[in-house]
Amino acid sequence: MPKKWDKKCRSRKLKIMEDGEHAKSERHPSHLRGKEIGMFYARRAFLRRQQEKEAGIVRPERVIGEITLPASKIEELEKLLRSTLIYVDESNPAFKRKFDLLVNGRIEDHVNIRTFEQNALLDEKLKEEYDLRQTTPEYQSMLEKRKTLPTYQLKKDIINAVESNQIVVISGETGCGKTTQVAQFVLDDHVEQGKGSICHIVCTQPRRISAISIAERVAVERAEKLGEGVGYQIRLEKVLPRERGSIVYCTVGVVLRQMESDPYLSQVSHLILDEIHERDVKSDLLITLFKQILTKRPDLKLILMSATLNAEKFSAYYNNCPHLNIPGFTYPVQEFYLEDVLQRTGFTFKGFKSKHSKRRSKDEEFYSGFMEPYIRQLQANKTCSVEVCEMLRNPQLEEEVNLDLIFALLVDICETEQDKGAILVFLTGFMEISNLNRMMEYSGKFPRSEFLIIPLHSQMPTVNQKHVFERPPRGVRKIVLSTNIAETSVTIDDVVFVIDCGKIKMTDYDAEVDTYTLKPQWVALANANQRKGRAGRVQPGICFHLFSRPRNLVLEQYQKPEILRTRLENTILSIKVLQLGKCFEFLSGLMDPPPEDSILMAVSLLKRLNALDDDESLTSLGYHLAKLPIAPQMGKMVLFGAMFSCLDPILSVAASLDFKDAFMIPLGKENQVDQMRRELSSGWMSDHLLLYNALHQFEKRNGFNARQFCSKYFLSMSTLQQLQKMKVQFMEYLFETDFVDTKNHKDKKFNLNSNNVILVKAIICAGLYPNVGTISGKRRKFPRTMAGYRVNWHPKSVLSKELHFPSPLFVYYLKLKSTSNFVHDATIVHPLPLVFFGDKYEYDSTNSLIGLADKQLCFKCSQKTNTIIKEIRDKLNWFLEYKVSNPGVVDWTSSKEEITVLRAVMELITNEELGSTSFTDFDDNCQIH
C-alpha cells in the first residue's frame, strides 16, 4: 500500500477515535457547521459499529426476522444433500487461457505492433476519386460554406502542426469548425500527397448523437455516401468506412473497447480526442493512457481538441505540446447581470424567512470583500437605485433560483423587444421548468397565439422533437425553458436572448457516506460563457446572467471533472482489463486524480462482489464483469440470470438500470405517469420488475399496437428500442463466452423460470447486493440503508405509495441526495435471497443468529436449520464460482446434481415468500400479506 495512503487511513482512524470521546454525549459539538455535523454522526456510528463488532454485540434492531423450515422440509433437504456431491467435470480451457493471459499480462507485454504499410495502388485510387469529387457541384457548394468557417482560415497551420508534432492541442469556440474540418484537412492532405493508404483517422465524441450527426454532416460536405470515406461507430450501431484513407467518428467508449484487444490501436494513424474540455471520465482515462501508448507508437498522432477555456491545461499535461487557438466566431453578445435585471424590471425581492438566514463564513467573506465595495461604487455612481442596492445586500437573493424574477424579465423582454427572436431560459431541473411553465400559462401574458413555449428536459418528450429547432410562424415567439442540455447537446439556432439562472444541477459523489448528491450549485465560467454564446448563433444577441458582477469574479473556471464526482467501479474494471496494473498508481497519474476514499470504496465494493481478489487482481467473475458493457452489479445479475434460467426478465432489468428508465413525464402529467407506472408494476413491490414489465409488454406488441402502448403508458419508444438492442448485445457476450448456446434471449431453455417472479427478484437481489436496506418503525415507514442511514423513497418509486410491505428488506440501485436522501428504485425482498447471495455469512450459535455483512443484517435461525442452509449455500456458491471460471450452459432440463441444488435454492426462496416457509416478523403491528 502506498505510504501516502497508509498515512491517510491512520490519520482518519485517529480522528474517529478522538471524536469517539463524544460518543456518549447526545448532540454534536456546537462549533461544527454544515457537512461537519453529518460527518460527526457518521463517524460516531462507525465507531460504535466497530466497538460492537469487536465485542460481538448484535443490536436488537439488526435482527430482522427469523428463518424456520418445517421438520419435513429439513428431512427432505438432508436427504437431497446426502445424495448430491456436485461434481462437474466439464471445463472450458479456452476461457482459462484468455483469462490467464489477461490477469497475468501487462500492457507493455504487447510487443508485436503492426503498423501501416503504404499501398501504392490504393493511394492512386484514393487520389483519383478525390480529384473527381472536387469537380462536382455538391462538393463545391459545400466547400464555399466550409471556407467561411474560422477553422478553414487556419487549414495550412493545422496541417503543418500535425505533420511536425506527435501531439497538438487545438482550441476554438463552439461552431468554429474543429470537429467537422480538422479530420478532413488531415485526410485530404494525405490523399493529395499520394499517401492516403496510411491514413485512418479516429475522432472521438462525448455523445452518441453527435458521433452520428457529425459523420453525416462530413459525408455531405465531401459529397459522398456515409460508409465510403466517412463513418461512425457507437455502442450497438455502426456504419464503418473503408479501412484506409478514411475517418471514423465514434464515442470514447468504443476506443476503450478496441484497446482491450489492440492496446496500441495499430490500425489508427491519427486519433482526435474531441471536446475534451467536458472532462468526462473516459476521455480523462484516454488522455492519461496515451502518455504510455505514444512512446510505443511514434507514428501515431494525437490531436486534442477543446473549447477555448482550458486548452492550456491539456498542453501543460503533455509537456507543453504545441497549442493552436482558432480565433472567435459567434456574433457579439451583450451581457447583463443581476443588478441590471433588477434595475430594468423594477422587481422587488421580499426575501423569505429562511432557516439558513445565518451567512456561512465563505459567504461572509464574499459579501464583505466583494459585494459591499461594489455596492458602494454603484451608489456613488448612481447606477442603481437605493432599493436595488439594498436587495443586492441580501444574500437570500442569490440563494435560490428566483422564478418570479425570471418571469418578470420574460415579460419585460416580450414587451420591450418585440419581433426579435427566440428566448432561451436556462433552469436547473424538471420542477423549475414545470413551475415556470405553469406561471406563464396562468398569467395570461403568454397566449398560445403569440408564444410557443417549449420545455426541454431529458425526461420530457420534446427533446427529440423537430419543432424545438424549427422557426415558429411569423408573429409567434419561441420561448425554450431548458436544463443545461441546451448548452452543448441541443443547438437552437434562432435564439437571440438567453436568460442564465446562474445555477446548474450536478451529481457529485461523496465516498464518505457512499452517496450521490444532486444539488444546484453555481455555474462555472465555462458554462456561463457557453450559455451566453447560445444567443449569438445567427445575429448579435443579449444574455442576462442572474448573478451579480462580483459573483462572476469568484465563479470557478470549470466544473469539477467527472472523475472527481463519480463512483469508480467501472473505471477500475477498465483499468484492469486494459492491463494497466494497480489502479491506485494509474489513477494517481490522471490530470485530476480521484480522492483516495473513492478508490478505496470502489475497490472494496468490487472485492465484495467477488470481482477482485485480495491482491486486487481480476477474478473470473471480475473478468466477465469487465467485459460485459454494463455496470458490474448489473453484469453479475445477467450472469446469474443465465444460470438460473430466467434470462429475459433479468436482461431487461439490467439494461434499464444501466441505460435509462423509458418513462417520460410530459409537463402537467406527473400524476397520470405515476398511475401508469403503478398499473404496470402489478403490485410486485418492485421498481425493477416494473422496468421489466414495461419492456416486456412493448416486446409483445408490434407496429401500431406498440406505438399505442407507448403513448398510453408515457414510454419513449426510442429508449425501449435501445434497451432491446442492449439485450441483444449482452446476449452476444454470453454466447461468445459459452454461457448460452443461442443468441435468442427469449429462448425457452434460458427462460424456464422467467415466470417465477420471486426467483427473478432474488436474482435482482444477488446483483444489487450489498445495496440493501431495511424498513423499520411501527408502521414500517422508515427505510434505512444497511449501514443505518435514513433514506426516503423517491416519489417516482412505486414503493413510495405503498403502506404495507410484506418484508422489511429491500435492495436498490440508485441512492441520490437531492432535496432529500432518496432511494430511486427498489425491490422488496425476503431474507433467504440475502442469506444465499449475501456476503460475510457467519453463525452465532450462542444467540442462534445468522449474520451477514459483518452482522449488519441478522436473522434468528436454529442450529439445525442453519446447518442445512449453510450447506446448500456452500454448494451453490461453489457451483456458481465454478461455472463462472468454466463458462458453460446450465441446463435446467437435465437431471444433473448441480441442477438439483439450484432447484432446491429456488424452491426455498419461492416457498419463503409464498408463506409456506415461515418467516416470523418482529414488527407485529404491520400487516403481512
- Interface contacts to ligand CDP, rule CB under 6 A: 149, 172, 174-181, 213-214, 217
Select 68 or 233, whichever has its Cβ closest to Mg ion: 233
Stretch that binds Mg ion, among 149-157, 178-186, 254-262, 876-884 (CB under 5 A): 178-186
Q: How far apart are CB 177 and Mg ion at their closest, in Å?
A: 8
d(CA 399, CA 392) in angstroms, rounded, equals 12
181 binds Mg ion (CB under 5 A): no
753 binds Mg ion (CB under 5 A): no
- CA-to-CA separations, 885 to 95, 103, 619, 639, 738, in angstroms, rounded: 8, 13, 8, 12, 11
Select 533 or 767, whichever has its Cβ closest to ligand CDP: 533
d(CA 290, CA 322) in angstroms, rounded, equals 16
Select 214 or 909, whichever has its Cβ closest to ligand CDP: 214
Residue 424, helix vs strand vs coil: strand
> Residue 170: what residue type?
I
d(CA 478, CA 497) in angstroms, rounded, equals 11
Select 530 or 693, whichever has its Cβ closest to ligand CDP: 530
β-strand pairing of 63-67 with 237-239: unpaired
Cis peptide before 473 (omega within 30 of 0): no
Long-range contacts of 73-78 (CB under 8 A, 24+ apart): 73/917, 74/864, 74/865, 74/868, 77/868, 77/872, 77/904, 78/868
**Contact flags string 127-166 toward Mg ion, x per CB under 5 A:** ----------------------------------------
d(CA 647, CA 223) in angstroms, rounded, equals 46
756 binds Mg ion (CB under 5 A): no
Among all chains, which residue has been given the C-alpha cell 456504419? 239
Q: How far apart are CB 732 and Mg ion at their closest, in Å?
A: 32
205 binds Mg ion (CB under 5 A): no
Partner touching 180 among Mg ion, ligand CDP, none, CB below 5 to 8 Å by kind: ligand CDP
Residue 667, helix vs strand vs coil: coil
Select 179 or 751, whichever has its Cβ closest to Mg ion: 179
- Residues in the interface with Mg ion (CB under 5 A) total 2
Q: How far apart are CB 827 and ligand CDP at their closest, in Å?
A: 41
d(CA 827, CA 821) in angstroms, rounded, equals 17
Partner touching 205 among ligand CDP, Mg ion, none, CB below 5 to 8 Å by kind: none
Q: How far apart are CB 178 and ligand CDP at their closest, in Å?
A: 4
Partner touching 631 among Mg ion, ligand CDP, none, CB below 5 to 8 Å by kind: none
Q: Name the β-bridge partners of 686.
A: 827
Q: How far apart are CB 275 and Mg ion at their closest, in Å?
A: 6
Partner touching 176 among ligand CDP, Mg ion, none, CB below 5 to 8 Å by kind: ligand CDP
φ, ψ of residue 75 to 5 degrees: the values are -60, -45
Structure-block grid coordinates of residue 860: 434468528
Partner touching 706 among ligand CDP, Mg ion, none, CB below 5 to 8 Å by kind: none
Q: How far apart are CB 591 and ligand CDP at their closest, in Å?
A: 21
d(CA 471, CA 448) in angstroms, rounded, equals 15
Q: How far apart are CB 277 and ligand CDP at their closest, in Å?
A: 11
Partner touching 217 among Mg ion, ligand CDP, none, CB below 5 to 8 Å by kind: ligand CDP
Partner touching 177 among Mg ion, ligand CDP, none, CB below 5 to 8 Å by kind: ligand CDP
180 binds Mg ion (CB under 5 A): no
598 binds Mg ion (CB under 5 A): no
179 binds Mg ion (CB under 5 A): yes
Select 180 or 437, whichever has its Cβ closest to ligand CDP: 180
Q: How far apart are CB 178 and Mg ion at their closest, in Å?
A: 5
Select 538 or 728, whichever has its Cβ closest to ligand CDP: 538
Q: How far apart are CB 146 and Mg ion at their closest, in Å?
A: 14
Structure-block grid coordinates of residue 514: 457512499
Stretch that binds Mg ion, among 23-31, 174-182, 404-412, 443-451 (CB under 5 A): 174-182
Partner touching 807 among ligand CDP, Mg ion, none, CB below 5 to 8 Å by kind: none
Select 530 or 619, whichever has its Cβ closest to ligand CDP: 530
Structure-block grid coordinates of residue 509: 459523489
CA Rg value for the chain: 30
Q: How far apart are CB 180 and ligand CDP at their closest, in Å?
A: 3
Q: How far apart are CB 173 and ligand CDP at their closest, in Å?
A: 7
Asked whether 232 and 215 are in contact (CB, 8 A), the reply is yes
Structure-block grid coordinates of residue 135: 469537380
Asked whether 919 and 66 are in contact (CB, 8 A), the reply is yes
Helix axes 569-577, 596-608, angle to 10 degrees: 80
Stretch that binds Mg ion, among 94-102, 159-167, 176-184, 631-639 (CB under 5 A): 176-184
571 binds Mg ion (CB under 5 A): no
d(CA 874, CA 85) in angstroms, rounded, equals 12
Helices (H), 417-548: 430-443, 485-488, 525-533
Partner touching 831 among Mg ion, ligand CDP, none, CB below 5 to 8 Å by kind: none
| CB atoms closer than 10 angstroms to residue 486 | 22
Select 179 or 633, whichever has its Cβ closest to Mg ion: 179
Select 179 or 737, whichever has its Cβ closest to ligand CDP: 179
Please, which residues have CB within 8 angstroms of residue 389's CB and are 6 or more apart in sequence? 375, 378, 379
- CA-to-CA separations, 808 to 63, 464, 684, 782, in angstroms, rounded: 11, 41, 15, 10
Select 211 or 791, whichever has its Cβ closest to Mg ion: 211
β-strand pairing of 782-785 with 815-817: unpaired
Select 19 or 274, whichever has its Cβ closest to Mg ion: 274
| Residue showing the smallest CB distance to Mg ion in the complex | 179
Asked whether 461 and 716 are in contact (CB, 8 A), the reply is yes
Select 176 or 186, whichever has its Cβ closest to ligand CDP: 176
Q: How far apart are CB 312 and ligand CDP at their closest, in Å?
A: 18
Asked whether 912 and 832 are in contact (CB, 8 A), the reply is yes
> Residue 591: what residue type?
M
Stretch that binds Mg ion, among 31-39, 170-178, 594-602, 672-680 (CB under 5 A): 170-178
d(CA 611, CA 624) in angstroms, rounded, equals 9
Residue 479, helix vs strand vs coil: strand
Stretch that binds Mg ion, among 53-61, 172-180, 804-812, 906-914 (CB under 5 A): 172-180
d(CA 313, CA 290) in angstroms, rounded, equals 16
Query: Which residues contact Mg ion (rule: CB under 5 A)?
Result: 178-179
